[in-house]
Structure 1
């Protein structure tokens, strides 16, 4: 496996300088909201990975990484990133009509019953917890403007915009959390050791960065998926005889 390249940082004028209060708050909230400990139930979903393991499509860390790279770039990773970006932008300028349209489209484009359950249940939990513990001015109005189900990426976009957290940071954190959860599911199902799981996450770092860049510049007309096998996996999981996960 190719070693991870070291990051290139621009030296600070003052290496001892502290982040601004806004930067520190944004980091704290993103780390909290997109942590595995945040109670949206992400651990109970595998996005069809459970069926892919049973079918023999995923058998080791290499095949898991290849499967997830496709899901990121050509499937739900990219699509969720686009929905998050457009929801965040609409919420940031209080464009209720656009926000409602994005929320409706994101809910309608789920390719299977279980995929819809996964994203809708997590979105609902995210909104409920945000309103209970992380409410802020304007958040309730933005949620009400959607007038229906709010799927997970749209929920994250709305809440982060209401808290004035920059879109690019939110999107990167969201896709990292999504990838981490997929790897966690794969590590339990294959199974994989902790070291191999971290190797997979490290190897997917450039894939996540590329999807963030693509999603930030994409329009809703650019939405589309080419992960037919992964979509079939989520459909066939509905009737899988032995299941540990809800999707």
Structure 2
């Protein structure tokens, strides 16, 4: 049964992960721009496999695990600080580090409209996934719901980048969102029941693409 509190929590989550929320995520492609240029994600099916790998075995999954750790650590400042340090240390390239820290900084500043001491304890420039996890826990947003919305937002942002790169059109982008519904729900459920012991990545191609983008001369995105 929907309650006023759950409705408020949903509205807050929608606001934080809306494209209109001032975090500047639209400026980043997570290495996708380099992958498109190199022909690794230059058609709809290759793009689908690219996103599937990020969600199942790549940075998206790891970010979700770090978000979950932050959500659980809201009342433990030391554990929370350790999660933030780990998230920053796991950034595999300079641009990846720039993205998670810059977006995290912007998120923390905007989320100050919903104040909570735990957000203040993170400082002004926390990693994005950690900041979102703390904000969600502070507003009593269920972890699994937050993870599902987070993964959906990452996918939506990546699809938007692919559209701007000319790989797919808007209808194909919507179709991709629809195809990933079950995978997002499953991954969110699995992540909510996991721990930092489950961190790991097998998305080497995506990591290399992120590194290669650092020296790409013509670009639309910052990563």
Measured against the shorter chain, the TM-score band is over 0.9
- Uncovered stretches (5+) of structure 2, i.e. residues with no partner: none
SS at match of 2:214: helix
Distance in 2 separating the partners of 1:246 and 1:126: 17
Q: Is 1:101 paired with 2:82?
A: yes
Counterpart secondary structure, 2:156: helix
Contact 1:103/1:149 (8 A) holds in 2: no
- Whole-angstrom distance in 2 between the partners of 1:60 and 1:200: 12
1:98 is displaced (CA, Å) by 0.9
Alignment partner of 1:38 out of 3, 21, 28: 21
C-alpha separation in 2, matches of 1:205 and 1:218: 20
1:143 is displaced (CA, Å) by 2.9
Determine if contact 1:48/1:233 at 8 Å carries over to the other structure. yes
Deviation at 1:161, TM superposition (A): 0.9
Cα displacement string for residues 90-146 of structure 1 (whole angstroms, at most 9, x for unaligned residues): 11xx11111111111011101111001111111110000111x222xxx2x313433
2:57 aligned partner = 74
- The equivalent of 2:101 in structure 1 is 120
Show the 5 A alignment for 1:212-227: 212-227=188-203
> Match of 1:86, SS?
helix
Decide which structure has the larger Cα Rg and report it: 1
In 1, Cα distance between the equivalents of 2:119 and 2:9?
Answer: 20
2:34 is the counterpart of 1:58:
no
For residues 194-230 of structure 1, the C-alpha deviation after alignment (integer angstroms, 9 at most, x for no partner) is: 1100111111112212221221122212101100000
**Paired positions, count:** 223
The Cα of 1:147 is off from its aligned counterpart by 5.4
Whole-Å separation in 2 of the counterparts to 1:74 and 1:129: 30
The alignment partner of 1:43 has SS state of helix
The equivalences for 1:10-25 within 5 A come to 19-25=2-8
Structure 2 distance, partners of 1:149, 1:28, is 25
Residue by residue, what CA displacement relative to the aligned partner does 1:43-98 show, whole Å, maximum 9, x if unpaired?
Answer: 0000000000000011221111110000111011110110011100111xx11111
The residue that corresponds to 2:114 in the other structure is 134
Partner of 2:144: 168
Query: Residue 92 of structure 2 corresponds to which residue in structure 1?
Result: 111
Using the size of structure 1 for normalisation, the TM-score is 0.87
List runs of 5+ in structure 1 lacking aligned partners. Answer: 1-16
**Is 1:194 the counterpart of 2:170 in the alignment?**
yes
In the alignment, is the contact (CA less than 8 A) between 1:77 and 1:211 conserved in 2? no
Alpha-carbon distance in 2 for matches of 1:184, 1:43: 8
